[in-house]
Structures are given as C-alpha cells and as structure tokens.
Amino acid sequence: MSLVTLKELLPKAKQNHYAVGQFNINSFQWVEAILRAAERQQSPVILASTDRIVDYLGGVNVIAATTKKMIEEMNITVPVVLHLDHGFTVERCTAAIDAGYSSVMYDGSSLPLPENIQRTREVVAYAKAHHVSVEAEIGSVGGTEDGVTSGIQYADPNECYQLVAATRVDALAAALGSVHGPYQGEPNLAFDLMKEISDNLMDVPFALHGGSGIPDYQIIKAIRYGHAKINVNTECNQAWAQTIRTLLTEKPDLYSPPDILGPGMAAIEQVVTRKIQLFGSAHKAG
C-alpha cells in the first residue's frame, strides 16, 4: 500500500473517538518493529523522523526510500503515514516532501505568532500542491528531545484559533502540559484548556506530543477531548535500552548483533502493540 496522509486518518479517528499512534524512527529496526506491530494489530500507523535526527538516519531521501521499500518487502497492508516530526525550517519540510514523505510538521512554536503563521502557510501551500498533510505547533512542549531541553509553555486558545483559521493545517499540536522524555512525577495536562480549545475547533484533530509516561486514564481523556494523534518515542527507546542492558549484563560474552538487537526490536514491538490497543486504533485499518 502506498503512503497515506494525516487527512485520510485523523478526522475519521477523531469522529470515532480513537487516536492513531505516531512512533519515532531511531534506526530502521524501529521501522521494522513498528510496522510489524501495526500489521499484527491491523492498525493505521504514523512513522516519524524528527528533524534533529534526520541527518543521523542518512537524510530524508534515505529515510523515505528505505521506509517505502520496507513497507513493500514486509507486505504491509495497513495505512502508513511517513511524517517529518518537528521540522524546524520551511526548507527541511519541502525537502521531506520532495523526498516522498506524506506528511510534515512545521514547528514554528518558538517564533512570534505572525511569523509562525507566515511560515506554516508557506509549508501548507507547498504541501497541498504535493498532496501532503501538515501539522503545526502552538505553545511549547517541555522536556528533553534528542538532547535538547525546553520548558513548558501552555498554548493560548486564541492563538490556536488564529493559526488554524489562517493556515488550515490538518493537525494541531497545542502544548498543554505534556513533555518530551520522562516526566518528573504525575503529568499535569491542562484538561480545562484542552476542552475549551477542542470545543471551539471541533473539526481539527489534535496531536499530543510527549505521549510516553502519561497514565492510561489521562490518555483516554485526551482522546475524548479531541486528540487523534499521539506521539510516542521515549517509551520505545527505554524498552529497547533496558532489554539490551539486561541481556548484556546477564550474558557479558554476547557479541553477535542479531542476538543483541533482535530482542531490542521485540521490546519496541511490544510497546507499540500496547499503545495501539490503548489508543483504540486496533482493527481500524480498513
């Protein structure tokens, strides 16, 4: 199956009160594990490469070509989105679109609103001409992602409405207290604000960043309040690292990569499977 866009998945998910998981690519073994879990669960899935590790993975052309070939070779039948996560420049977004990504996020959240709107509009114009979907961000997701740390800045509802009206993006990441990376204590999502924004932007699916470590009951509430895309990276990485750490501690003579990395890949698949079931997207591939 060829790649699909967020537009083909998220409005349907929002209408039917489930969310599609975005799982980040940290090597092509992540792609294999995530695709396998999605296919077994018959769930649509979003594979994402974040801007900061695009070069580490070999660049947007390598990521797009390899991912598409893997989908074909693995006989994947479920809908798959290939998404650029946190694209920090218009140029990175257009390069991903040219390489064959089916979706991009332009993250202008650190800019003053008029500039964020202006650049998001540029990305949307290019993306629409190529049948690619766009996600935008307002406010600031806190925490640490790929070595970069920032504080939480809650999204302003009026800014959310202005951005959506001016850009017509396909998904909105409104920062509402979630953080990238591990949480210190219980996450404190601003559900009142979430409900207010959701009630006013009924037709726009929300993307929840920092989906790792949020208790299940809060995830379910966030889906009820309009989140149709939930991003998970840290929990997959932690499961992978913990599995390999334990294995190498128990068997210090082990050196064969398949014997070490195979169990790591299985650990990622387990996390993705559990998240798909929690988000309610299993058996929603049709």
DSSP state of 181: S
- Span near ligand 13P by CB under 6 A; candidates 72-80, 125-133, 205-213, 247-255: 205-213
Find the shortest distance in angstroms from Cβ 246 to ligand 13P.
21
CB 163 within 8 A of CB 136: yes
21 lines the binding site for ligand 13P (CB under 6 A): no
DSSP state of 173: E
In one-letter notation, the amino acid at residue 229 is K
**Catalytic pick from 85, 156, 192, 199?**
85
Q: Is the backbone of residue 35 left (phi > 0), alpha (psi -120 to 50) or beta?
A: alpha
Selected from 67, 109, 116, 212, the binder of ligand 13P by CB under 6 A is 212
234 lines the binding site for ligand 13P (CB under 6 A): yes
64 lines the binding site for ligand 13P (CB under 6 A): no
Residue holding tokens 């009206």?
A: 165
140 lines the binding site for ligand 13P (CB under 6 A): no
49 lines the binding site for ligand 13P (CB under 6 A): no
Calpha distance 132→200 (Å, rounded): 25
Residue 85 known to be catalytic: yes
Q: Give the helix/strand (H/E) hosting 22.
A: strand 20-24
Selected from 46, 97, 232, 278, the binder of ligand 13P by CB under 6 A is 232
Calpha distance 286→263 (Å, rounded): 30
Calpha distance 270→193 (Å, rounded): 33
* CB-based contacts of 200, cutoff 8 Å, min separation 6: 157, 161
* Cβ distance to ligand 13P smaller for residue 184 or 249: 184
Binding mask 73-112 for ligand 13P (x = CB under 6 A): ------------x---------------------------
Find the shortest distance in angstroms from Cβ 211 to ligand 13P.
5
Contact residues: ligand 13P, CB under 6 A: 24, 85, 180-181, 209-212, 231-234
> Annotated active-site positions, please?
85
